[in-house]
Amino acid sequence: MREELLVPEVFAPAITERLAQWERDRLVERLWAGEASVWTGDGEDRWLGWLRVVEQERARAPMYAALRESAQRAGIAHVLLLGMGGSSLAPEVFARVFPPRADAPTLLVLDSIDPGDVRAVEERLDLRRTLILVSSKSGTTMESNLLLDYFLDRAKRAFGPERAGERFLAITDPGTPLSEIAVRQGFRHCFYGIESIGGRYSALSVFGLVPAALMGVDVGRLLERAERMVRRCRPEVPIAENPGVVFGAILGELARRGRDKITVLASPGLEAFGAWLEQLLAESTGKEGTGVIPVESELLGPPGVYGRDRVFVGFQFESDPLEDRPLDRLRAAGHSIPTPSSDGGVRFAAALEHPVLQLTLSDVYDLGAAFFLWEMATAVLGAILGVNPFDQPDVEASKAEARALARAYEERGALSRPEVLVREEGLVLFADEGNRQQVSARARERSLQGYLRAHLERLQEGDYFALLAYLERSDAHRQRLRAIRQRVRDARRVATTLGFGPRFLHSTGQLHKGGPNTGVFLHVIGSDAWDSDIPGRPYTFGLIKRAQAYGDFAVLARRGRRQLGVEIEGDGEAGLARLVEAIERALAETS
């Protein structure tokens, strides 16, 4: 794997001094020694198992090889992984980046309880040739447990209560409720994680490697590439040649100077890596009013649509054609990009508008190295920003609110929705009290377009616009939401992000609540053309999804975030088309 680092010359003194400070204070050595004082001194030493997991897992390479061979012999067509956040994003990278093998199962990842997503996955499965892998570090993840209830019920109907568990595997930490379920239901096997590794740092542990092995990945080869990067990030390596520390120092000093929108540009074969990196950066740094904002899957634009808060991070394969390579795509879009340093070091360039950090992977197995490099860089970045990169103090708030709403539904038979501002053509705009007052004071007219204009006018330089979509992750929905992002970015010159709920609650949700108050949020909640009861529960997938949406909305309101919500009544695609049109008209008024 090769690194190419281009940074505007104005940042050279700060980055150079930061690297010198890490060398003077022996911070790389102290990090590897597990000293919590490298960060905030608040228990970080308990979460450093990821530093040495590669060596531990390499010793178990024969077990992963045997697992791969057993899946191939069993004639399994699909492995379905049920999980959220750190339990699903690395497996999704493997599923989407590694080419399918004719002699191995296809890995499907379900990290959503949107009824449309559940049905779309279920329709692809032949349960007789499917192995279901339930993955949750805590063993208490609500969405994973609901999906387990659903598919275990399907298996019991198909194979009988005594044989259903044979179709299931679990990955969890020792002693969790999921481990107890695995024993009670007779699961084929339960793989145990390492308690000192947090979910988003677990790609190179059983949480990433078991699904990878089942789909035919040579885990030994993957870990060998990871081990090479581990050696390059060790304290014995000169600090200027340590890629994890250099990446973290660059990103930290840039963020401290307003360059905090980490914009991912990946060649088509590596796009899935961006979602994994998004969680790692957002959940690790977005707390205590600070953090970087990862911008993933945003369309590339010309120089004029970007503010001075951007950092581009590129990923490509050595074999990619020029038109797919991030640096060449930037040049084709009109950006002035100099030639990187030939020795892989940092090139400081006077004429460069935006920093660009690019990784070139020799092949898919370099993902092992990329995972570790970014884990190390994020740990260093957290230290520079003065936060604990291994906790997520604000995530539980939305979960608790959703549970309270679900209990209220059980008692009253209805969910309470925030106050409606206006209803037009099947679109219902709603707000919390604080935001209702603010947009009402700005709005020229009490209409959908008027309120949206007032909301979007609140976007200022250095802000970001976040679409939070509780919709099926269909191509049609993605296309409409991508159009909204592009129009907002081009009109307001701000970064834009997109999260599908409830998936994003386990990724960028921490940043939204705990990070800098620079987000302007638009929640989009769709109606469900199809829904399903959850066995043993008094509600449906669709109702829980809506409770999660309302719960997160309530928490963001208490945090003083700028937000509005839109509910789509009826057909989701048609409703999104109307929303795109309303936003286009609103933006035309703001320009």
**pLDDT at position 311:** 99
Confidence category of residue 590, pLDDT binned at 50, 70, 90: confident
**pLDDT at position 72:** 86
Six-digit token string for 389 = 């990169």
Q: Which of 3-12, 123-132, 247-256, 412-421 has the lowest mean pLDDT?
A: 412-421
SS3 assignment, position 98 = coil
Tens digit of each residue's pLDDT (9 = 90 or more) over 292-311: 999 999 999 999 999 999 99
**pLDDT at position 344:** 72
**pLDDT at position 522:** 99
Q: For the domain made up of 395-590, give the CATH fold.
A: Rossmann fold (3.40.50)
What average pLDDT is seen over the chain?
96
Q: Can you tell me the mean pLDDT for 227-252?
A: 98
Q: Can you tell me the mean pLDDT for 110-131?
A: 97
The class of domain 60-223 in CATH terms is alpha beta
List the chain domain ranges: 2-42+235-385, 60-223, 395-590
Q: Can you tell me the mean pLDDT for 24-42?
A: 98
Q: For residues 490, 258, 296 and 274, what is the CA-based torsion angle, rounded to 10 degrees?
A: 160
Q: Are 83 and 111 in contact (CB under 8 A)?
A: yes
**pLDDT at position 478:** 96
Confidence category of residue 396, pLDDT binned at 50, 70, 90: confident
Confidence category of residue 155, pLDDT binned at 50, 70, 90: very high
Rounded to an integer, what distance in angstroms lies between the CA atom of residue 38 and that of residue 340? Answer: 31
Q: For the domain made up of 2-42+235-385, give the CATH fold.
A: Rossmann fold (3.40.50)
SS3 assignment, position 105 = coil
**pLDDT at position 402:** 86
Q: What single letter denotes the amino acid at residue 169?
A: L
Q: Can you tell me the mean pLDDT for 315-335?
A: 97
**C-alpha pair distances (Å), 43 with each of 30, 35, 67:** 14, 9, 35
The domains spanning 60-223 and 395-590 adopt the same CATH topology: yes
Confidence category of residue 591, pLDDT binned at 50, 70, 90: low
Sheet with 2-8: strands ordered across: 293-295, 261-266, 310-317, 356-361, 2-8, 346-349
Confidence category of residue 228, pLDDT binned at 50, 70, 90: very high
Tens digit of each residue's pLDDT (9 = 90 or more) over 95-119: 999 999 999 999 999 999 999 999 9
Residue of 173, 179, 172 lying closest to 195 (CA atoms): 173
CB atoms within 10 A of CB 386: 12
